[in-house]
Amino acid sequence: MIGFDYPVNSNTGLRDCVGKDNIYAAENKDAIKDKILELISEEIGHLN
């Protein structure tokens, strides 16, 4: 989960659903883009 302008860690139900290690807070659009690209490249590495 990527939260933009949202206190991602304050929602315990959401945190429990996705797992605390799968929550990312993005402070701006560049941070969102960087996190998405990082996640995509990580998944591509798992496909090889």
**Cβ atoms of 26 and 35 closer than 8 Å:** yes
Q: Tell me how many domains the chain contains.
A: 1
Residue pointed to by tokens 């690209």: 37
Task: List the beta bridge partners of residue 4.
Answer: 26
pLDDT tens for 1-48 read 877 777 777 888 888 898 888 888 777 888 888 888 888 888 776 665
Domain that holds residue 39: 2-47
Q: What is this structure's pTM?
A: 0.54
In the 3-class helix/strand/coil scheme, how is the chain assigned residue by residue?
A: CEEECCCHHHCHHHHHHHCHHHCEEECCHHHHHHHHHHHHHHHHHHHC
4 vs 39: CA distance, rounded Å: 16
